[in-house]
């Protein structure tokens, strides 16, 4: 069973415009939607949709926190959140013509006591794997993630920014940086797929058993004891990239929960991600045909 921990969740607001955005003028949206967001929350929704036992934990506050809790419960996601003062942040993605703008808030300020409260919630679930996803709110240091990793007999997966990844000291089963985070955290040249795999090898030397790197239109690499695997991205029409990396990771974890090997897991992750980016927002897409989509993903060794 998987528990997801989202220290700094958000309500994801997606606004679409028919015309290009411009300063000093009123822009009228063609459509808008609100979704429960945050890396761990997105993963919990996807894992639940794929029938994998999962509990979503994290920090929630205010009316936006209530929206996230209610949305997850409506989606059938089991939750065990910790309530905090302040208001959970609102992140906005504006899609205008062929351009995408992202505006992310910082989130409410908290203190280290919330880590103890979250550890209690995690331990109560007796998970096999714990996914810590997303940014840290003001008031917390990377040690808040290390404490989760060292807090019990479970595998810990981390999906956070490169600046935080550099500061982690605990042992982790997997980290999932994107291309930019790979470069920022290692100083390596990540302009090629091979360069990304080399940077992933460097990450492994820092205490990560496996490294799953999302490369956008170039696909993804998974580097671990099974070797260096590269999956090409599928040829699809991309509408919105928000949540693509979360979907990649969720697909990989879902496959591992079913006992799949790394190659099958990587193909599954790319397949799930391909379904998410073909629609706006971070709501869970229809995954009924995910097995047939997975069969179309090409994986090779580097």
CA–CA separation, 113 and 231 (whole Å) = 41
| pLDDT at residue 173, rounded to an integer | 97
Average pLDDT over residues 258-285: 87
**DSSP at 216:** G
Of 89-93, 194-198, 231-235, the range with the lowest mean pLDDT is 231-235
Return d(Cα 278, Cα 131) in angstroms, integer. Answer: 25
Active site residue 286: no
Does the pLDDT at position 281 exceed 70?
Answer: no
What mean pLDDT do residues 209-213 have? 97
User: Is the pLDDT at 284 greater than 90, yes or no?
Assistant: no
CA distance 85 to 44: 24
Name residue, tokens 């869970």.
284
Q: Which domains does the chain have, with CATH numbers?
A: 2-21+28-301 (3.40.1190.20)
Residue 238 predicted with pLDDT over 90: no
How does residue 282 score in pLDDT terms, banded at 50, 70 and 90?
Answer: low
The predicted pLDDT at position 41 comes to 95
pLDDT exceeds 90 at position 84: yes
133-151 pLDDT, tens per residue?
999 999 999 999 999 999 9
Average pLDDT over residues 195-215: 93
Q: Is the pLDDT of residue 187 over 70?
A: yes
Given the residues 246, 262, 289, 295, the one annotated as active site: 246
Q: Taking the model in full, what pTM does it have?
A: 0.91
Q: Does residue 192 register a pLDDT over 90?
A: yes
Q: Measure the CA–CA gap between 29 and 173, rounded to whole angstroms.
A: 43
Contact 269, 212 (CB under 8 A): yes
- Strand intervals (E) in the chain: 2-6, 10-17, 31-37, 54-60, 78-79, 82-83, 89-96, 99-103, 129-133, 155-159, 172-175, 208-214, 220-224, 227-231, 299-301
């Amino acid at each position: 069973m998987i528990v997801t921990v989202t220290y700094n969740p958000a309500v994801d607001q997606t606004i679409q415009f028919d015309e290009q955005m411009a300063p000093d003028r009123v822009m009228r949206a063609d459509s808008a939607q609100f979704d429960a967001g945050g890396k761990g929350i997105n993963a919990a929704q996807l894992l639940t949709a794929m029938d994998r036992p999962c509990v979503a934990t994290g920090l929630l506050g205010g009316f936006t926190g209530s929206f996230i809790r209610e949305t997850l419960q409506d989606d059938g996601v089991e939750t065990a959140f910790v309530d905090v003062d302040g208001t959970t942040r609102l992140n906005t993605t504006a899609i205008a013509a062929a351009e995408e703008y992202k505006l992310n808030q910082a989130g409410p300020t908290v203190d280290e006591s919330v880590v103890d409260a979250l550890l209690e919630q995690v331990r109560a679930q007796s998970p096999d794997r714990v996914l810590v996803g997303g940014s840290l709110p003001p008031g917390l240091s990377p040690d808040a993630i290390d404490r989760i990793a060292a807090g019990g007999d479970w595998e810990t997966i981390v999906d956070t920014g490169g600046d935080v990844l550099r500061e982690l000291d605990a042992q982790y089963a997997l980290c999932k940086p994107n291309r930019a985070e790979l470069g920022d955290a290692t100083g390596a040249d990540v302009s090629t797929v091979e360069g990304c795999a080399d940077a992933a090898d460097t990450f492994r030397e820092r205490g990560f058993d496996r490294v799953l790197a999302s490369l956008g239109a170039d696909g993804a690499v998974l580097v671990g004891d099974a070797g260096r695997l590269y999956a090409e991205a599928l040829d699809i029409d991309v509408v919105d990239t928000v949540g693509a990396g979360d979907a990649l990771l969720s697909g990989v974890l879902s496959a591992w929960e079913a006992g799949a090997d790394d190659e099958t897991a990587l193909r599954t992750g790319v397949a799930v991600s391909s379904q998410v980016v073909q629609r706006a927002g971070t709501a869970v897409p229809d995954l009924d045909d995910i097995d047939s989509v997975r069969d179309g993903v090409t994986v090779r060794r580097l």
